[in-house]
Structure 1
Amino acid sequence: MKATKVFINGEVITADQSGTVHEALAVKGERILQVGTTTDIMERCDAHTEIIDLNGKSLLPGFNDAHAHLELYGTNQLGVNLKQEDSIESIIEKLQMRAEETPSGEWIRGWGYNQNTLLEDRHLTKWDLDKVSTSHPIIVVRTCGHISCVNSKALEMAGLTSQTPNPPGGTYHRDNEELTGLLLEAAHMEMFQLADYSEAEVMLGLQIASDHFSQNGITSVHDAGGYGTKHIRYLQKAAQEGKITQRLYVMYGSLYDSPSVVKAGVESGIMTGLGDDTFKVGPAKVFIDGSSSGPTCKTRDPYKSNPNDSGILYMNQNELDRHLLPAHKQGWQITAHAMGDEAVHMLLTTIERALNHSGNINHRHRLEHAGITPPDLVERIKSTLAVPIPNPAFLYEFGDGYINDYGDRVHHFFPLKSYVDQNIPFAIGSDSPITTVNPLIGIHAAVNRTSKHGHPVGQNQSITVEEAIRAYTWAGAYASNEEDLKGTLEPDKYADLVILDQSILRCPSLQLKEIQVEMTILNGDIVFEKQKEDAH
């Protein structure tokens, strides 16, 4: 059988269990035909075969981002990017530019600010945003996606006053009993629904997101949710219309009132696995706690930075059981956002109760994030055969804040080496747009465990490049029960591939983040190719 494409003279990293590396690979249609030496693979060529010379560069399985928010990523591109702003003054200036071109009464949406990197070293307030406009509602979402600040107009539209009680799992921040505009967790999620984008805007955003993910070598995405069941419909529609090219594994939940969405899914009669290789229903997902960088995640012990605070819970143990155990009984894979060690403990308790009730050796229940996970929780993950979904890129962007907020607990934050030592499969997710979608940053952080300012962040949990690659490829397929179809470079698996601009195995570890994607192949077809620079 002759190949439609061959890749020769390269570093073909199969990501299989043995860490096999070949030098060439052949593709027939949408499937991998053969891996081996360049000589062997060239025998698969005829006059119609496309030959791609890797010139020593790495060829890997397409990256599988095991936790990302496509809709949020895409719609963020339509808002005002504040990631790089270093002062409240510059944020106000940038928002004012958008206000000048936005009709009165329409929303102005910003995203990505981080109070820890601002000159003023504080959160935004409604008084700051009122300087931008009082005739537009304004919402600015913190980089974590769990906190936002709004102006007086937005508070008025939402009907919020100083007398409004805090919602379950959320906080309206107050100063001398007056609302400041700062919204935490469920309070933010409620407001974001009011500031939601139209369907046309969402569909445009999803196409932008898919293009950006392809540029980063990502061929599969486990989508971690948007707002309500309409988000799931948007994803399915975008996949059907070809606006999203990645293979989707879609968590059934919502960033706001996730229990109601899970309940609707369970009662509908469907379950995890419904769909095909391009769009598939994933696990039932709820939220237990808050964000790691806020910080608002629920920890066993108070924060080092604030001994009077240990985070926010969206629900208690009985409520968590009530929301997820019925899903398990109906054949769903179950998962939850669990960042702090108390939240991880709660999710493991629910999984243990699910397995005690009905078993299911191949359930592959998941733990989204599993941020602070000390040895006792690692042991319980191993005994339940659950799959943690860590986000090592957080260590690079937020590591300095973690040291300040959690102290020595950073040695158990995303404990990848512990997982490797215990033979626990773990699948890396970016959680983009909370941080970069770039898998090479995630791999860099998993290997080096340093913040962007060079500070070590639990380097006892560093892993090898090969281990990080496998966690970003095979393990994502394992977490969705699809490892027989993709995730490694083996014959008959989908030809979902990524070519890097150099050898990742020979790259100095501190330069891993500089590696770029040169080509992305999905189903044997090139969906992204980096433009060649002028030879001048």
Structure 2
Amino acid sequence: MKTRLHALLALSAILLLSACSEYREKATRVFTGGVLYTVNDNQPTAEAIAIDGNKIVYVGDQDGVQAFIGPDTEVINLQGKTLTPGWIEGHGHFMGLGYNELNLDLSDTKSFQEIVDRVKAAVEKTPAGEWITGRGWHQSKWTESPGKEIAGFPLHHALSEISPNHPVFLYHASGHAGFANARAMEIAGLNPLGKEQLSDPEHQEGGEIIRDENGNPTGVFNETAMGLITRHIPANSPEKDRQAFELAMAACHRNGITGFHDAGVGSKTVDLYQQMKREGKMELRMYAMIAGGNREFLEEWLERGPVIDSLLTFRSIKLSCDGALGSRGAWLLEEYSDRPGHFGHETMPMEYVYEISKMALQNGFQLCTHAIGDRANNEVLDRYQAALEEYPDKSEDHRFRIEHAQHLHPEDIPRFAALGVLPAMQAIHLSSDRPWAIERLGEQRIKEGAYMWQALLQSGVPIINGTDVPVEPINPLANFYASVTRKTLDGSPEGGYEADQKMTREQALRSYTMDAAYGSFEESMKGSLEIGKVADFTVFDRNIMEIPEAELLQTQVIMTVMDGAIVYQQ
């Protein structure tokens, strides 16, 4: 009797398991009829994909996916379109993206006069006394002369004349310099032109106030000197922060971005992100780097330890060790070709980098350090190496990063792979910067050490790609184009700059997906189309792996899928 009962129970269990298995096989959504690039070396391409909720359950051909289609399955015919893993912004500033849509966007300005005109328009609709802020200007991209220049920058007079009652501060595209009008400098305690010279309120280590031949401020503040002005700008309201957050989220979805590495967040932004997640509004995978310049804030996080979640992760620290090449703030081993005697700025003591490197290793944090110039990269690699050698038991899978790694000494290129340090680079910077960067560095330094993508890849280290938004637009297709052509966005020069450093299309796609996922310790969860990974996809209207390169800039994102949900559809 017992034997018969056991047999019946076993048969029931088998039938129940079979029914459950059959139920699980029916997908909630199927994408078919397209070209899928999986970024999975074992299965590079596919025709269809099935998801159950937010997970991938099938990747293969159109015949095989039929078994996953049930009466409740939504079937989406891609009609020949191209589907890839969701693209990941490997280095950007999320709230900067949102605020760029709220404040003056100067990224497309072609002259100083155009900037003055936009500020004048803002003055006419802004109450007297309120600050006017913006970002995006770049003096090396102007097509008209601004008139008199000091150290390559114009003077503030024209800007001050049209805004006498409004303090104005306009951030450089890089975020490493800013332009103030007379009213803003007056509020900061700096003299307006024509009055008796005043001493600086305080010495700014790692920064510079550009002055004219009489010692008066021209309006340009470089690196840490910006703080003399920015500390007087009122903080944004919680309502405005939420608005900027939502605008940034929508911009990411429009551009096929499902993951974002936010390069430096303070306590206020941490609180906002946590609140948005609680409210169900964190609709992309945010990998946020704790800003390491505030020692007290940083030590709180080091004591707390990493917070790892599929939607919102805090396990990395961001430091900033030099400025940008455009503002001549990048820290160089040799002087600037177009400014003799000037080597850029060390914006953070190297001893601090060494100290935080050790603390990060001890507490399970990744360290991500901004370094653009060759000396900054050299110095940071030295501090990383010293820390890794001091704590070898913590160094097996540290994945420390250098953000930008834009200009390297040739001897430092192989050190990335040797030390396991990941370069987080932004290919679009070559398209924007290379035409004038040669003036800063000269031909030899450009050819031997600038934007060295292929040299780094061949050394055995992956590259994390991105746009550095809002320094550049969030558009990943422009970045993909720059990666594979090394041309400006108007298609010049023929053959590209230093063409031997181009990425292949496969390398470029990987840099925006799997390698970016690796850069945030998330390669087992996302970055490729594989069974068990999250359903994050980007769908393009053209086959970006095969179309002529000129068509890449005409390609559009037609759908973004995040965590199994369609968050954008053209």
TM-score category by the smaller chain? over 0.9
Give 2:232's aligned residue: 194
Give 1:385's aligned residue: 420
Residue identity in the other structure for 2:157? W
Give 2:567's aligned residue: 527
Structure 1 window deviating more from structure 2 (99-108 vs 401-410): it is: 401-410
TM-score computed with the length of structure 1 as normaliser: 0.94
Tell me, what secondary structure is at the counterpart of 2:553? helix
Tell me, what secondary structure is at the counterpart of 2:348? coil
TM-score computed with the length of structure 2 as normaliser: 0.88
Aligned: 1:342 with 2:382? no
Give 2:252's aligned residue: 213
Q: What is the CA–CA distance in structure 2 between the aligned matches of 1:19 and 1:462, rounded to whole Å? A: 25
Give 1:328's aligned residue: 361
Specify which of 172, 175, 192 is matched with residue 142 of structure 1.
172
Give 2:206's aligned residue: 169
Specify which of 289, 292, 302 is matched with residue 251 of structure 1.
289
Give 1:114's aligned residue: 138
Q: 1:189 to 1:163 in 2, by over 3 A?
A: closer
Aligned positions of 1:507-526 closer than 5 A: 507-526=547-566
Q: What is the CA–CA distance in structure 1 between the aligned matches of 2:294 and 2:56, rounded to whole Å? A: 39
Give 1:533's aligned residue: none
Residue identity in the other structure for 1:209? A
Measured after TM superposition, the shift of residue 93 of structure 1 is 1.6
Contact 1:65 1:428 in 2 (8 A): yes
Aligned positions of 1:23-422 closer than 5 A: 23-118=47-142, 119-121=144-146, 123-161=153-191, 162-164=198-200, 165-175=202-212, 176-195=214-233, 196-226=235-265, 228-253=266-291, 257-259=293-295, 261-266=297-302, 269-272=303-306, 274-359=307-392, 360-408=395-443, 409-411=445-447, 412-422=449-459
Structure 1 window deviating more from structure 2 (506-515 vs 73-82): it is: 506-515
Give 2:20's aligned residue: none
Measured after TM superposition, the shift of residue 361 of structure 1 is 0.7
Structure 1 window deviating more from structure 2 (314-323 vs 64-73): it is: 314-323
Contact 1:75 1:197 in 2 (8 A): no
Contact 1:258 1:285 in 2 (8 A): no
Aligned residues: 524
Q: 1:224 to 1:193 in 2, by over 3 A?
A: farther
Q: What is the CA–CA distance in structure 2 between the aligned matches of 1:32 and 1:333, rounded to whole Å? A: 29
Structure 1 window deviating more from structure 2 (348-357 vs 192-201): it is: 192-201
Q: Deviations over 1:272-303 (max 9, x none)?
A: 3x131111103111110001222310111222
Contact 1:215 1:528 in 2 (8 A): yes
Measured after TM superposition, the shift of residue 304 of structure 1 is 2.3
Percent of aligned positions with the same letter in both sequences? 29
Give 2:512's aligned residue: 472
Give 2:482's aligned residue: 445
Measured after TM superposition, the shift of residue 189 of structure 1 is 4.3
Q: 1:430 to 1:130 in 2, by over 3 A?
A: same
Q: Deviations over 1:204-255 (max 9, x none)?
A: 11110110011000001010125x422222232233334441111110116x
Specify which of 517, 533, 546 is matched with residue 506 of structure 1.
546
Contact 1:69 1:433 in 2 (8 A): yes
Residue identity in the other structure for 1:275? I
Residue identity in the other structure for 2:190? L
Tell me, what secondary structure is at the counterpart of 1:120? coil
Q: What is the CA–CA distance in structure 2 between the aligned matches of 1:135 and 1:125, rounded to whole Å? A: 18
Structure 1 window deviating more from structure 2 (521-530 vs 457-466): it is: 457-466
Q: Deviations over 1:350-401 (max 9, x none)?
A: 1111110112211111111111124321211111111110000111122212
- Please provide the CA RMSD for this pair: 1.8
Contact 2:140 2:326 in 1 (8 A): no
Contact 1:58 1:503 in 2 (8 A): yes
Q: Deviations over 1:308-350 (max 9, x none)?
A: 2221111333232133322222221112101111111111111
Residue identity in the other structure for 1:488? S
Structure 1 window deviating more from structure 2 (280-289 vs 10-19): it is: 10-19
Q: 1:259 to 1:426 in 2, by over 3 A?
A: farther
Residue identity in the other structure for 1:116? S
Tell me, what secondary structure is at the counterpart of 1:431? coil
Contact 1:284 1:324 in 2 (8 A): no
Contact 1:22 1:36 in 2 (8 A): yes
Gaps of 5+ in 1: 531-536
Contact 2:358 2:391 in 1 (8 A): no
Structure 1 window deviating more from structure 2 (61-70 vs 508-517): it is: 508-517
Q: What is the CA–CA distance in structure 1 between the aligned matches of 2:43 and 2:422, rounded to whole Å? A: 21
Gaps of 5+ in 2: 1-24, 192-197
